[in-house]
Chains A and B, each alone.
Chain A
Amino acid sequence: MDQQIVRKLTAIVGEKHALTEFEDRYCYSFDSTFINAMPDLVLQPGSRDEIAAVCRVAYEHDIPVVTRGAATGLSGGAVPVKGGIVLEMTRLNHIIEINTVNRYAIVEPGIVTQNYLAAVDQAGLFYPPDPASSKMATLGGNISECAGGPHGVKYGITRNYVLGLEVVLADGSIVQTGNLVDGDMSGPDWTMLFCGSEGTLGVITKIMLKLTQKPQAKQTMMAIFDRIEDAATTVSTMMASGVIPTTLEIMDNSTIRAVENFLNIGLPVEAGAILLIEVDGDPKAVEKHVQHVMKVCQDCKALTVKAAKTTKEADALWKARRSVSPACGKINPTKISEDATVPRSRIPEMVAAVREIAEKYKLKMVIFGHAGDGNLHPNILSNKHDKEEMARVSKAVEELFQAALKLGGTLSGEHGIGYLKAPFLVWELGEEGFQFGKDVKQAVDPKCLLNPGKMFDYRAS
């Protein structure tokens, strides 16, 4: 990058917040995936106006701008594959308002999700989307990837809670979408245009979120199955039966073993699969739902169904779920986490397809995830230093996507498209759909400077 431009940009954010040294830029060359690409400059702006000023300079000189939250993304979204500026949002980390009467919150995008969740909880309210990465990820990142979490089955995912956004566009202009009134419909839903846009359409600088009531009671259960197919059938049957659990998570045998190895908490290592189920609501309803859930599980050939007797027991079960990623990391270091998702009714077929693909390419693959959403998280455990194996991995990934799409599903339930899934987006959308996406991108970001090389800006080379 031209030194004069670097000086100009540095003047905007201040010396301390412009990182030019190679060693520092290197720390911004990756996210939670296995790809690397170096930025030319890292800027840590402290305000919306600084961001707008940076964008204006970048626009003038045709420099790519890659917005970055905590870089915990799983599709390469924050990796500057075309170089340019990495714009780190973590200094914008304040809660502007939590309104308990009208039940909304206004926050800055760089706040760590967990810090926001704690503040909402303190105010006596509830914000349901809770990705497993909430301790480190940012809300801006959550919205940009449309993050989901275990509560998604009943409460929905991030997009169901975004009321409005303030966004800085590629040329530095500032727009506001939506407003604090839930139900605002003056014009198309621009907010949704930016939700899940992965930094390719604008830089989100302020967020308005809907809040809801805390459930009065909840109960956690674990159902143990001999065969994963039965667990899959349970999920589709349960969802069809009318009672919607808060959470419905699946873990297959390899996952159970990995977690048990890691935590030693007495999980059933012989089981083909387990389902972790939570129901919430007012205490009477919870009791009724527990009975119902247990019956469905039993009807679908569960070996046993247990309800956690104490909060400690329940916490242990959720800890088991949260430990899946690290536990798998211990088996094989490179964890390719896919989140191809299918309609709930097709889960049994998807499970069969995943197992077939694992076998075909002789790969260690575990299945766990938000089954209630149809989001299965097939994870391939491999080693990125093993070139031959990585070649099989990339073929297997392609087949996973094809299988999901064939069952009427999607490439990504929650991790986004980013760089890694960009080549396959056209499969899901079709040529015309993909072109439409390109046209939208072109209209909003005509010079294609925002997070280039990703999503609709992907060109097969």
Chain B
Amino acid sequence: MSEEHVQEQWKKQLVKCIRCGTCRSVCPVFKEENSENTTARGKVQLLEGVVEGNVKLTPILQERFNKCLLCKACVKGCPSGVRTDLLFLSARQANARKNSLPLVKRVAFKGLTFRKLFDTGLRFGSVMQNVFMKKSADGRGNQARFNIPGSGLDLRRIIPPLADKPLRDRIPEKITGENAKGKAVFFTGCMLNYIYPEAGEAVVNILRKNGWDVTVPSDQACCGTPAFTSGDQDTGRKLAADNVRVLSGDYDLVITACASCGAALKNEYGEIIQDEDTRRKWEKISAKVMDISEFVEKFGDPGLFGPLPLKITYHDACHLVRGMDVSKQPRQVFAAVPKLDFRDMKDADVCCGAGGTFSMVYYDLSRRINDHKLDNAADTGADYLVTGCSACRMHITDGLSQRGSNMKVMHTAELIDMAYKSGENQKKGGK
């Protein structure tokens, strides 16, 4: 796409902005920073300036567009329907073409496209991590032992360790049964595969419990979100094409359990795929993409749930609630689990501050945004915070550790799996 063509695309959105400033009232970054250069309005007008030739694609401009969570709150809040999400993604790409990305990111994204190499790297990483990382005091995760150059890992930050054995090594590639109700292909995404394999196993259990055949293709690649949201469109496009090929089988549903992977497969690929053939194939896949909570709400048998006497609250991941329109479904599932004490928190759908690479570059800011989430969660008195996104989980867990809270975090799929297990135990326990 030529730069002129890109700007023509921008203009269609830019012309809709009436500068009303409504986006000020919803932007989590603006609420902390109080500065117009963080608002959607500010960024939209900067792009207007670019189109008019008054503003240049400078490194400073690039930085201003990076200081955004891509949380889509401004898209939802905009009364004029300006698709700021599309604009900001496209702007990051234009900036990356002009100013290129930092070397670490370039190398890292390139690595993503060599699936095997990436895979080996992370396996090796699971062995090597103790060299660079040490266990945090509360045992919840790891902390960097020293500043790893370019890693963006703040010394205070507590991140989960890499799993000893990735998810896709723990389960067979194909699990079939008799009289299957349908065929699901599970797109695990990187975080479930390498960091939270237990949550991934829960997803497989849920599908099997409901009588679905499951395929977990071993050659699936990273969904590409980290690359294309940073502006590396080429890598994003290559990964999208790989995944479209892998997922194009004879499946009824494409199941995801990661907000960003789901939103990418369902919607965002539409913005990066250019090749017509790939696009046609992708459109078929897009219609089948379903988050695991939506699956349980639509196809799950609530009769299988056993009692779960837990106090939980729920955090809506941005890319689930605004990227895939999933927010009622998990709540309906919670309501169907006997004895489960679900307490909705204030501002449950406000971003937790993770925002992909945002939390690496602006760690302090992302902590401040996260603090509101943790306060609201604490106010509910819940013992567990449930969420459908591993990136949110990681950022929230870090926050809880930082403040010494006892609240525990789990994936929606893990909670559902627990409810099924409780149902099984009840049955075994006799009448």
Asked whether, in the complex, the Cβ of B80 is within 8 Å of the Cβ of A330, the reply is yes
Interface stretch among B58-66, B222-230, B308-316, B320-328? B58-66
CA distance A34 to B34 in the complex (A): 23
Determine the chain B residues whose CB is within 8 A of the CB of A440 once the complex forms. none
Determine the chain B residues whose CB is within 8 A of the CB of A27 once the complex forms. 35-37, 39, 42, 45-46
Does chain B have a CB within 8 A of A345? Answer: no
Among residues 1 to 45 in chain A, which have CB atoms less than 8 Å away from a CB atom of chain B?
Answer: 19, 21-24, 26-34, 44
Does chain B have a CB within 8 A of A333? Answer: yes
Determine the chain B residues whose CB is within 8 A of the CB of A48 once the complex forms. none
- A26-B49 contact, Cβ under 8 Å, with A70-B21, A136-B21: yes
- A19-B35 contact, Cβ under 8 Å, with A27-B46, A329-B79: yes
Determine the chain A residues whose CB is within 8 A of the CB of B25 once the complex forms. 112, 114, 135-136
Determine the chain A residues whose CB is within 8 A of the CB of B55 once the complex forms. 22-23, 26
Range of interface residues on B (Cβ < 8 Å): 20 to 34
Q: Shortest distance in angstroms between B54's beta carbon and chain A's nearest beta carbon?
A: 8
Asked whether, in the complex, the Cβ of B36 is within 8 Å of the Cβ of A71, the reply is yes
Determine the chain A residues whose CB is within 8 A of the CB of B24 once the complex forms. 70, 136
Determine the chain A residues whose CB is within 8 A of the CB of B39 once the complex forms. 27
Asked whether, in the complex, the Cβ of B79 is within 8 Å of the Cβ of A325, the reply is yes
Determine the chain B residues whose CB is within 8 A of the CB of A334 once the complex forms. 18
CA distance A326 to B22 in the complex (A): 10
Does chain A have a CB within 8 A of B103? Answer: no
Does chain A have a CB within 8 A of B15? Answer: yes
Among residues 16 to 44 in chain B, which have CB atoms less than 8 Å away from a CB atom of chain A?
Answer: 16-22, 24-25, 34-37, 39, 42
Asked whether, in the complex, the Cβ of B37 is within 8 Å of the Cβ of A19, the reply is yes
Asked whether, in the complex, the Cβ of A325 is within 8 Å of the Cβ of B58, the reply is no
Does chain A have a CB within 8 A of B270? Answer: no
Does chain B have a CB within 8 A of A298? Answer: no
Asked whether, in the complex, the Cβ of B34 is within 8 Å of the Cβ of A91, the reply is yes
- A23-B18 contact, Cβ under 8 Å, with A28-B36, A114-B25, A330-B81: no
Asked whether, in the complex, the Cβ of A23 is within 8 Å of the Cβ of B61, the reply is yes
Asked whether, in the complex, the Cβ of A335 is within 8 Å of the Cβ of B21, the reply is no
Does chain B have a CB within 8 A of A233? Answer: no
Determine the chain B residues whose CB is within 8 A of the CB of A26 once the complex forms. 45-46, 49, 54-55
Q: Interface residues of B: mostly helix, strand, loop or mixed?
A: loop
CA distance A455 to B236 in the complex (A): 53
CA distance A208 to B64 in the complex (A): 37
Asked whether, in the complex, the Cβ of B36 is within 8 Å of the Cβ of A333, the reply is no
Does chain B have a CB within 8 A of A459? Answer: no
Instruction: Look across to chain A and name the residue whose beta carbon is closest to the beta carbon of B30.
Output: A90
Does chain B have a CB within 8 A of A212? Answer: no
Does chain B have a CB within 8 A of A72? Answer: yes
Determine the chain A residues whose CB is within 8 A of the CB of B61 once the complex forms. 23
- A32-B81 contact, Cβ under 8 Å, with A19-B37, A26-B55, A44-B34: no
Instruction: Look across to chain A and name the residue whose beta carbon is closest to the beta carbon of B24.
Output: A136
Asked whether, in the complex, the Cβ of B15 is within 8 Å of the Cβ of A333, the reply is yes
CA distance A32 to B44 in the complex (A): 13
Q: Which of B34, B36, B55 has the most A CB atoms < 10 Å from its CB?
A: B36
Among residues 380 to 395 in chain A, which have CB atoms less than 8 Å away from a CB atom of chain B?
Answer: 383, 385
Q: Shortest distance in angstroms between B81's beta carbon and chain A's nearest beta carbon?
A: 7
Instruction: Look across to chain B and name the residue whose beta carbon is closest to the beta carbon of A72.
Output: B21
Does chain B have a CB within 8 A of A179? Answer: no
Q: Shortest distance in angstroms between B14's beta carbon and chain A's nearest beta carbon?
A: 9
Instruction: Look across to chain B and name the residue whose beta carbon is closest to the beta carbon of A31.
Output: B19
Does chain B have a CB within 8 A of A191? Answer: no
Asked whether, in the complex, the Cβ of B80 is within 8 Å of the Cβ of A71, the reply is no
Asked whether, in the complex, the Cβ of B79 is within 8 Å of the Cβ of A90, the reply is no
Determine the chain A residues whose CB is within 8 A of the CB of B81 once the complex forms. 326, 330
Determine the chain A residues whose CB is within 8 A of the CB of B16 once the complex forms. 329-330, 333
Asked whether, in the complex, the Cβ of B80 is within 8 Å of the Cβ of A23, the reply is no
CA distance A191 to B246 in the complex (A): 71
Contact with B along A120-155 (1 / 0, CB 8 A): 000000000000010111000000000000000000
Asked whether, in the complex, the Cβ of B37 is within 8 Å of the Cβ of A329, the reply is no
Interface pairs A-B: 7 shortest CB-CB = A326-B79, A27-B42, A135-B25, A27-B36, A329-B80, A27-B37, A329-B18
Known A-B contacts: A71-B21, A88-B34, A326-B22. Give 4 more (CB < 8 A): A26-B45, A33-B19, A325-B20, A326-B20
Between-chain CB contacts (< 8 Å), 5 pairs: A23-B64, A24-B60, A27-B35, A27-B45, A330-B80
Residues of chain B whose beta carbon lies under 8 Å from any beta carbon of chain A: 15-22, 24-25, 34-37, 39, 42, 45-46, 49, 54-55, 58, 60-61, 64, 79-81
Residues of chain A whose beta carbon lies under 8 Å from any beta carbon of chain B: 19, 21-24, 26-34, 44, 70-72, 88, 90-91, 93, 112, 114, 133, 135-137, 323, 325-326, 329-330, 333-335, 383, 385
